[in-house]
Amino acid sequence: MSLVVVGSVAFDAIETPFGKTDKIIGGAATFITLAASYFTKKINLVAVVGGDFLKSDIQMLQEHGVNTAGLQIKEDEKSFFWSGKYHNDMNSRDTLVTELNVLGTFDPVIPEEYQNCEYLMLGNLAPSVQKTVIQRLRKRPKLIVMDTMNFWMNIALSDLMETLTMVDVLSINDEEARQLAGEYSLVKAARKILTMGPKILIIKKGEHGALLFRENQVFFAPALPLEDVFDPTGAGDTFAGGFIGYLASTRDISFDNMKRAIIYGSAMASFCVEKFGTERLQHLSKAELESRVQEFVELVQFEIALA
Amino acid sequence: MSLVVVGSVAFDAIETPFGKTDKIIGGAATFITLAASYFTKKINLVAVVGGDFLKSDIQMLQEHGVNTAGLQIKEDEKSFFWSGKYHNDMNSRDTLVTELNVLGTFDPVIPEEYQNCEYLMLGNLAPSVQKTVIQRLRKRPKLIVMDTMNFWMNIALSDLMETLTMVDVLSINDEEARQLAGEYSLVKAARKILTMGPKILIIKKGEHGALLFRENQVFFAPALPLEDVFDPTGAGDTFAGGFIGYLASTRDISFDNMKRAIIYGSAMASFCVEKFGTERLQHLSKAELESRVQEFVELVQFEIALA
């Protein structure tokens, strides 16, 4: 049930209407591995950071069961840095700074002990790097989940389309699905994207929940209505981490189990946004998680006796 | 189990990316009564039209079990007329024409046979008119549901606030809830609105579903992901009509039954948008409705065994 996660491990500086942070740990793979760590402990990280990265942050990941053998530390370079400011409605943000730094030349290294992993989560990265990771695994994993974003559709579409043919599940947001398919209707967009390679498509709609598509099946998971969204950074990655972590821990990739995985992913995301960055994800109890999942059950369950 | 519905009965002229219509029957009370007619046949309409209104349209309503004793026909005046054009994404529209006509001086008449109704649906109208209807019913109905819109918040807020204190359920969309409460978070907005009079709040989110709030309880019903939305006109009223119609037919106003009513309302709304105006609502079979509700069940049902 080993899981390999590739993606950025980075510094974020975040400003929201509730406050601002200095440079804190962020990055897709950080949120993914932390979220997955509440389900499985065999999490193998593939990423790169600079010499400026904090040893204490790496230790924090290790304490959550993350194997950092595949985390390259380039002592003479700087870590990927992103800074952004959220608007009052929290649904839109301005990117203030993007410094690729070590990520600009990222050549992923797969330690021998990562070979034969069953689950692979490709966090948002250049599609060519995602492809390289797949190619460097000698045995194809049982399930490959890929996240991406509109940025790569704009500048690396052919790489993206090629990598898409190699994965099982694609996870993107609604605007990205519309852009990738050239269809406004999400149902039509999903049908089109499911011809591009992935057999399963997850469309994330932020505060409006998430849709799971396979062939002619569709499942919808709501987002939990929250009083306050403190910081949305990493919510999508946290969702993906909960999804793949749950699948890896249950070793069941049926559609019914993916429904459960989406609910667990949504529950993890609902925690993520309660504090800045990874703060809430670093300290979460099993009881809190189960109670949150129970809230999802109560939110959507109804009983109708049909004729 | 008699139901009184007050609201506009009107002419609409609609333009969408799929085509345009001449003047066709529209209006909040039209959509509400048609939707409700699939659940209960004792539907008593309170409305006003002009001499230009089509006898065949009134007959169509009657054939759906709508009692038009409370429909005033002002032969020398013109019916309320609205014309609008939807943008490509169907989520926004421009109002091209609004002619109040008979609605400008609407003085609702309650026929004696409508007295003692158990369910009252106040479709979107001037809050003062909605209040008049409540006052003209000698016995307070078991359940009063009110729809309104931002227009009245802008020009008749004190009337609106007063009418709010007299109803049980308020149905508005997300933007209206935010405006009424002065809160961006829908959870906070709901809490505030539930102190204004209604014990139950429905927040309609269009293609993103609907939320049902009562005290500390919340229920979420998704909208069905559709390939095409042909014409969204009347979807919110159709939703309300399915909701109140289901409640009136089951005579059960528990929170659990309101969950079912919201699902039926959502199902009705999903039909409404498939064709122009009321076209789809005029011809719907029980089997189609049940099959649509089954789609909602499949869309959200999942099984999780919690510890």
Beta pairing partners, A180: none
Beta pairing partners, B20: B15
Q: Say if residue A176's pLDDT is above 70.
A: yes
Closest CA to B204 of B179, B172, B229, B228: B172
| Whether A304 and B256 lie within 8 Å, measured CB to CB | no
Indicate the pLDDT class of residue A90, thresholds 50, 70 and 90.
Answer: confident
The pLDDT score that the predictor gives to residue A42 is 86
CA distance B226 to chain A (A): 6
Average of per-residue pLDDT across A46-66: 98
Residue of B nearest to A189 (CA): B227
Per-residue tokens: A177: 């699905």
| Whether B290 and A307 lie within 8 Å, measured CB to CB | yes
What architecture does CATH give domain A3-300?
3-Layer(aba) Sandwich (3.40)
Q: Say if residue B255's pLDDT is above 90.
A: yes
Strands A143-147 and A169-173, bridge-based pairing: parallel
**Contact residues for B157 (Cβ-Cβ < 8 A; gap 6+):** none
CA distance B216 to chain A (A): 12
CA distance B155 to chain A (A): 25
Please tell me which of the candidates A225, A294, A300 has its beta carbon nearest to residue B300: A300
Average of per-residue pLDDT across A115-126: 97
Residue A138, number of CB atoms within 10 A of its CB: 9
Closest CA to A25 of A62, A60, A74, A66: A60
Indicate the pLDDT class of residue A307, thresholds 50, 70 and 90.
Answer: low
Per-residue pLDDT tens digits for B278-288:
999 999 999 99
Per-residue pLDDT tens digits for B190-207:
999 999 999 999 999 999
CB B203 within 8 A of CB B180: no
Residues B67-90: b if buried by 16+ CB within 10 A, e if exposed: bbebbbbbeebbbbbbbbebeeeb
Distance CA B22, CA B276 (A): 11
Q: Which residues of B touch A220 (CB under 8 A)?
A: 222, 225, 299-300
R_g (Cα) of chain A, nearest Å? 18
| Whether A225 and B219 lie within 8 Å, measured CB to CB | no
Instruction: Express as a percent the part of chain B with pLDDT over 90.
Output: 94
Distance CA B64, CA B74 (A): 23
Q: Which residues of B touch A188 (CB under 8 A)?
A: 227-228
CA distance A181 to chain B (A): 14
- DSSP 3-state assignment of B168? coil
Please tell me which of the candidates A187, A306, A307 has its beta carbon nearest to residue B227: A187
CA distance A211 to chain B (A): 9
CB B240 within 8 A of CB A240: no
Domain locations in chain B as residue ranges = 3-300
Per-residue tokens: B42: 């004792």
Which range, of A81-95, A134-148, B164-178, averages the lowest pLDDT? A81-95
The pLDDT score that the predictor gives to residue A91 is 75
Please tell me which of the candidates A89, A205, A304 has its beta carbon nearest to residue B184: A89
Average of per-residue pLDDT across A67-95: 93
Indicate the pLDDT class of residue A89, thresholds 50, 70 and 90.
Answer: confident
- Going by the DSSP 8-state scheme, the letter that residue B10 receives in this structure is E
Q: Say if residue A166's pLDDT is above 80.
A: yes
Per-residue tokens: A281: 């994800």
> What CA–CA distances, in Å, run from B274 to A151, B93, B221, B270, B285?
34, 17, 19, 7, 15
Mutation to test the B interface, candidates A174, A191, A252, A300, most B Cβ within 10 Å: A300
Residues A15-31: b if buried by 16+ CB within 10 A, e if exposed: bbeeeebebbbbbbbbb
CB A17 within 8 A of CB A220: no
Per-residue pLDDT tens digits for B260-271:
999 999 999 999
Instruction: Express as a percent the part of chain B with pLDDT over 70.
Output: 99
Per-residue pLDDT tens digits for B77-95:
999 999 999 987 777 889 9
Interface of B with A in 78-117 (CB under 8 A): 88-90
**Cα–chain-centroid distance for residue A160?**
17
The pLDDT score that the predictor gives to residue B89 is 75
CB A249 within 8 A of CB A118: no
What is A41-67 written as a DSSP string? S-EEEEEEEETTS-HHHHHHHHHTTEE
Per-residue tokens: B157: 């807020």
The pLDDT score that the predictor gives to residue A72 is 98
Residues A148-177: b if buried by 16+ CB within 10 A, e if exposed: bbeebbeebeebbeebbebbbbbbbbbebb
Q: Say if residue B22's pLDDT is above 80.
A: yes
Strands A19-20 and A10-16, bridge-based pairing: antiparallel
> What CA–CA distances, in Å, run from A25 to A31, A121, A129, A243?
9, 20, 22, 21
Average of per-residue pLDDT across A67-96: 93
Strand ranges in chain A using DSSP code E only, listed in sequence order: 3-6, 10-16, 19-20, 24-26, 43-50, 66-74, 81-86, 93-99, 119-122, 143-147, 169-173, 200-204, 210-214, 217-221
Residue of B nearest to A259 (CA): B302
| Whether B222 and A222 lie within 8 Å, measured CB to CB | yes
Per-residue pLDDT tens digits for B1-18:
599 999 999 999 999 988
Q: Say if residue B305's pLDDT is above 90.
A: no
Per-residue tokens: B61: 């309503």
Average of per-residue pLDDT across A226-239: 94
The pLDDT score that the predictor gives to residue B307 is 62
Mutation to test the B interface, candidates A214, A273, A302, A304, most B Cβ within 10 Å: A302
Please tell me which of the candidates A219, A225, A260 has its beta carbon nearest to residue B211: A225
Average of per-residue pLDDT across B277-305: 95
Q: Give yes or no for B305 touching A (CB within 8 A).
A: no
| Whether A220 and B185 lie within 8 Å, measured CB to CB | no
Distance CA B27, CA B5 (A): 12
Burial of A77 (0-12, 13-18, 19+ CB in 10 A): middle
| Whether B220 and A225 lie within 8 Å, measured CB to CB | yes
The pLDDT score that the predictor gives to residue A36 is 98
CB A170 within 8 A of CB A164: yes
CB B119 within 8 A of CB B143: yes
Per-residue tokens: A205: 């709609």
Q: Say if residue A249's pLDDT is above 90.
A: yes
Q: Give yes or no for A76 touching B (CB within 8 A).
A: no
Angle between helix axes B127-136 and B157-164 (nearest 10 degrees) is 30
CA distance B228 to chain A (A): 6
Q: Give yes or no for A222 touching B (CB within 8 A).
A: yes
- DSSP 3-state assignment of B306? coil
Per-residue pLDDT tens digits for A4-45:
999 999 999 999 988 999 999 999 999 999 999 999 998 999
> What CA–CA distances, in Å, run from B161 to B148, B156, B172, B194, B200?
11, 9, 14, 12, 15
The pLDDT score that the predictor gives to residue A86 is 93
Instruction: Express as a percent the part of chain A with pLDDT over 90.
Output: 94
Residue type, B71: L
Distance CA B89, CA B207 (A): 11
CA distance B291 to chain A (A): 9
Q: Give yes or no for A259 touching B (CB within 8 A).
A: yes
The pLDDT score that the predictor gives to residue B53 is 98
Beta pairing partners, A247: none
Indicate the pLDDT class of residue A177, thresholds 50, 70 and 90.
Answer: very high
Burial of B307 (0-12, 13-18, 19+ CB in 10 A): exposed
Strands A10-16 and A3-6, bridge-based pairing: unpaired
Average of per-residue pLDDT across A117-126: 97
Q: Say if residue B32's pLDDT is above 60.
A: yes
The pLDDT score that the predictor gives to residue A1 is 57
Look up the ipTM and state it.
0.92
The side-by-side arrangement of strands in the sheet containing A3-6 is A66-74, A43-50, A3-6, A119-122, A143-147, A169-173, A200-204, A210-214, A217-221
Residue of B nearest to A206 (CA): B208
Mean pLDDT of chain A: 96
CB A129 within 8 A of CB A47: no
The pLDDT score that the predictor gives to residue A283 is 95
